[in-house]
Amino acid sequence: MIKRLTLLLLMLLAMGSFSGYLYLNNQIEIGEAKIAEGQKSIGAGEKALSAGKQRLRAGKQKLQAGKQQLQIGKQKLAAGKKQYQIVRAIPLGAVSNLLPEATPLTGIVEHKIREGGKQIAHGEKQVAYGEKQVAHGEKQIAAGEQKIRAGELRLKSGKIAIAQGIAKLEEAKKIRDALAISAAFFTFLTIVLAIFWRRKRALRS
């Protein structure tokens, strides 16, 4: 009776070990597939992040060029305003009164001054528009930098998660191998004991 119970126990241990081996092996295969998928996602994320950094660098260069153009425009506008104020300060009416024959010329000059005023106003609008564009570009650059930082954090977290998953898989593989050895050992022991006890009983009879 004890021998039968021993053999039954060994068989149960062998079956349990083998079942555990099959279960773990299936889980390991699922885990490896998930890790492979995660590594692909990490690779795609790194490419996207690299492309984003390139776009950000290009955007910064474009913004810097825009700032330089805006500064040049401001300088030209300031110089134009200065010249406009100087010309505008000329008493053309007094010149016409003193020199009536110069009236046609002063009329032309007055027309040029009015045109200059319009150009100054147009230049101020362009500068104001340029300042808005630069401010908008700076906001976009700031948002882009924030997205890059967020992407880097996600990639870092993903890499850590994959590394942890690989470590867990390695531990699971060790347990799986141990279960395989255990199943083989208990199966072998069951067979050996069964043969040994059968022969022993045969010799007695």
Asked if the structure places residue 86 within a domain, the reply is: yes
- Structurally, the chain folds into a number of domains equal to 1
Asked if the structure places residue 33 within a domain, the reply is: yes
Angle at 13 between CA 12 and CA 19, to 5 degrees: 85
Asked if the structure places residue 1 within a domain, the reply is: no
CA–CA separation, 38 and 51 (whole Å): 20
Structure confidence by residue, pLDDT tens digits, 54-100: 999 999 999 999 999 999 999 998 988 888 787 767 665 554 555 55
Q: The domain that contains 158 carries what CATH number?
A: 1.10.287
Structural domain boundaries, residue 89: 14-203
With 0-12 / 13-18 / 19 or more C-beta atoms within 10 angstroms meaning exposed / middle / buried, residue 131 is middle
Band (104; pLDDT cuts 50, 70, 90)? low
Read off the pTM.
Answer: 0.68
CB proximity list for 31: less than 8 A, separation 6 or greater: 165, 168, 169, 172
Task: Provide the sign of the torsion angle of the four alpha carbons 77, 79, 80, 81, taken in this order.
Answer: positive
